[in-house]
Amino acid sequence: MKLTRLDKLRLRLVAQDACLAWAFENIKGRSGIVFELGLGHGRTYDHIRTHLPDREIYVFDREVDCYEDCIPPTDKMILGDMRQTVPEAVRRFAGQVVLLHADTGSYGDKHNTEMQQLLSATLAPALAPEGLLLSDLKLDVPGTEAVPLPPGATEGRYFIYRRQR
């Protein structure tokens, strides 16, 4: 039987949760900041800030339209079109990002292809050596290698990349 849209949503959320949990453990003891691309309703931002209370977390979106208790501090919210804000932030924070979570997909294929192209072309210099990139979209980021998903996550429903040394 084919996967329904509900199946895909469920598998994506389970994989997202498992990948984030794995990443929180993996970056323990390593310095670096966090990028959260796609504030949305603030669900994954809330999760990340709760599990990584001592990390500086920069959050990107074109708007703040999230749960009221998930609004990032003004100086950490990078508002605007990611086509501009992401390349600027990558230059500003080059080599400092130990965990980059990109949750930028939508139901539109055109949008997803544009985001895949943007993120694949721009993100690499932001990552610290062995920095992790988690994404809801498959990416092709030079200088990174794909990491097998942790137990509980279905391959192809989320993606983990690690910057090579």
Cβ proximity to ligand SAM, 30 vs 83, nearer residue: 83
Q: Which CA distances in Å does 80 have to 8, 61, 144, 146, 155?
A: 29, 6, 27, 29, 32
Nearest approach, Cβ of 110 to ligand SAM (angstroms)? 12
Q: Which CA distances in Å does 55 have to 34, 82, 85, 102?
A: 7, 22, 21, 17
Is residue 83 within 8 Å of 116, Cβ to Cβ?
no
Nearest approach, Cβ of 44 to ligand SAM (angstroms)? 4
Nearest approach, Cβ of 1 to ligand SAM (angstroms)? 26
Cβ proximity to ligand SAM, 54 vs 63, nearer residue: 63
Measured distance CA(140)–CA(60) in Å, rounded: 20
Nearest approach, Cβ of 141 to ligand SAM (angstroms)? 17
Give the footprint of ligand SAM on this chain (CB under 6 A): 38-44, 61-63, 81-83, 103-105
Cβ proximity to ligand SAM, 81 vs 88, nearer residue: 81
Collect all residues with Cβ–Cβ distance below 8 Å to 124 and sequence separation of at least 6. Answer: 141, 142, 143, 144, 163
Cβ proximity to ligand SAM, 46 vs 130, nearer residue: 46
